[in-house]
Structure 1
Amino acid sequence: MQFVVTTICTLMAICSLAWAGPLPKRASIDFDVYYGGGLKIGKASQRWVIEGERYRLDTMLIPILGPTIHYVSEGRLAKEGLIPSRFEERRGKSDDLRNFCEFDWKILVAKFGEPDNPQSGELEKGAQDINAFPYQLSYVGDGTGMQIATGKKLRHDTFGKAGTAKLKIDSNELSLVVLRSADGDSRSEVWLSPAHHNLPLKLSRAEGNNTIEFVARHVEIEPTERKE
C-alpha cells in the first residue's frame, strides 16, 4: 500500500500539441484505480474548478483497503498555464494534513514535507505539484519538462509524445495522445483527450515492476475561454 500511496503522490489522431488549448471552467472525472496492470484497488474522483484567475483541483482516492486520501491543489492561471501556490495531501475521515508544498514565487523557494518537519528547496520556473501537473500538460502540450513537487520531494520529469491509444469512456471509444516521461526504471504516462479539452483521462506511474493506473470511466465538463 505504501507504493500505491507514494506513486499516487508522485502521478492529446491527433496533431502535435505545441499548445493544447483552454482548460474548462469546471470538470469532473471519475476513475477506476488499478495496481499491477489489472487488479482494481479502488476508485478516485477529480473536481477541477476555475474561479476568476484562480484554480483548484481536488482528487479523492477511495481505496478498497486503507484510508481515504485527499489531494488539494490551488493556484492561479496565467498565459503560461498553471502557477501553483499550495498542494496538500490529507488522510482519513478527519482529513488530517500529512504532507504539503507551498510555492513562494517571489524568492523561488518551495517549502514542503510534513507540517511539523518541513523542508525547503529551490523552486524552478514552471514547477508544478504532483496532483495538478497533468492539467499543465493539458494546457501546454508535449515536449514539456518540469519540476514536480510530490509533497515529500522535488523531482524533474520531461514529457514527450509517445503515440496515441484507444480508451473507452462513457460507452465511447476515444483516441488519446500519450505523453510519457521515463527516468531509469521509473515511468509516468498522461493520456490526454482532444475530445474533452485535452483533459487527462488516464494516468500511470511505474517503478520497476510496480504500476499504478487511474483510468477514467466518466467525464463531465463545462468549457471556458483561454486566459490571455
Structure 2
Amino acid sequence: MASFLAISNLAFAAPKNVTLTYQATRNGKPFANVTETFKQIGDQYVIESVTEGVGLAALFGKRILKSEGIVTAEGLEPKHFEQHQGDNEKKAVYADFDWLANQLRMTNKGNVTSVPLAKGTQDVASFPYQWMLLPPKADEVSLMITTGKKQRIYSYKAIARDVSLSVDAGQFKTLHLINASETGGGNEKEFWLAVERFYLPVKIIMREENGTAIEQTLTSIQTD
C-alpha cells in the first residue's frame, strides 16, 4: 500500500501542462526545431511532438508524433499512437493498445500486425513523460516501447547524477542516461534529464548506424 501511495503522489505532483522546445542539429549543424506538448485533463493525456525542418530539411514536411491515453497510478497507459511525415500517408504508422485483450495492433504501410501487449508498454512519444511521472531512480531502467512498426525493450543506464548542464533554456541539474540495450535496432538515445524539473529531457543525442549524430537541446520550458 505504501508503494502504491508513493506512485500516486508522484503522478499527482507532476505538471498537467508541459511545453518544451528544442533546437535539433545533425553533426553540429541546425536542421530542425522541435516543439513538444503534454496536456492532462482529468485522467486523460495527449502528447504531441512536432518537428519542423530548417532550410532544405523543411521540404520533407513536418514530422508529427501523437500519443493519447490515460494517467494511472503506474504512469502513462497509451491507447493510441500515430506518426506522420509531411502529407505522405505511406510513411504514417499507427499503434493501438488494447489493454483488456493485451494486444498491440500496429499499422505500417497498410499492413497490420498484432502482438501481445506487455504491461507498461509505451510508445516513442510517451516514454520520456513516463519518467516525468515515475523518475528513473535505479542505475538501470528498462521499458517496452513500440515505434508503431515494432516493439522491443529499451534499456538505459545512469552513468552520472547531478550533472550541471547549461543550455539556451537555462542551467539544469541533470541525470545522464546512456543506451544499455543488448541488441540494436535503431532509436538508441542518450538523455540528460532535469532532476529538479520533473526529469524532463534537457538534451537528447541519437547516433544513427551510419555515424550521424542528431542532438536536441532545450531552448525553452513551460510547466504548470
What TM-score does the superposition give when structure 2 sets the normalisation length? Answer: 0.81
* Structure 1 segments (4+ residues) deviating >4 Å: 93-97
Aligned partner of 2:31 in structure 1 is: 41
> Gaps spanning 5+ residues in structure 2: where?
1-5
Cα pair 1:109 1:121 within 8 Å, conserved: yes
Fraction of identical pairs, as percent: 24
Distance change >3 Å, CA 137–CA 171, structure 1 → 2: closer
- 1:29 aligns with 20
| Superposition map of 1:171-190 within 5 A | 172-183=170-181, 187-190=188-191
Q: What are the superposed Cα offsets for residues 79-108 of structure 1, whole Å, 9 maximum, x if unpaired?
A: 110111111112326888710100111111
Aligned pair in 2 of structure 1 residues 81, 52: CA closer, same or farther (>3 Å)? same
Corresponding residue for 1:9?
A: none
Residue 54 of structure 1, CA deviation: 0.8
Please, what is the CA RMSD of the aligned residues? 2.4
> How many residue pairs get matched?
204
Tell me the alpha carbon deviations over residues 158-183 of structure 1, each in whole angstroms, 9 at most, x when there is no partner. Answer: 22312143332456321211122233
Q: Which structure has more helix as a fraction of its residues?
A: 2
Q: Choose between structure 1 and 2 for higher RCO, CA contacts under 8 A separated by at least 6 residues.
A: 1
Contact in 1 for aligned 2:103/2:114 (Cα 8 Å): yes
User: 1:100 maps to which residue?
Assistant: 94
Shift of residue 130 of structure 1?
0.6
* Structure 1 contact 30–217 (Cα < 8 Å) conserved: yes
| Amino acid in the other structure paired with 1:161 | A
User: Could you tell me which amino acid in structure 1 is paired with residue 172 of structure 2?
Assistant: L
Matched, 1:74 2:76: no
**In structure 1, the residue corresponding to 2:130 is in which secondary structure?**
helix
* Structure 1 position 161 matched with structure 2 position 158: yes
Deviation at 1:60, TM superposition (A): 0.3
Letter in 2 for 1:212: I
Gaps of 5+ in 1: 1-17, 223-228
User: Which residue is 1:151 aligned to?
Assistant: 148
Larger mean CA deviation between 181-190 and 121-130 belongs to 181-190
Task: Give TM-score, length-normalised by structure 1.
Answer: 0.80
Query: Which residue, out of 52, 56, 61, partners 2:46?
Result: 56
SS of 2:92's equivalent in the other structure is strand
3-state SS of the aligned residue for 1:125? coil
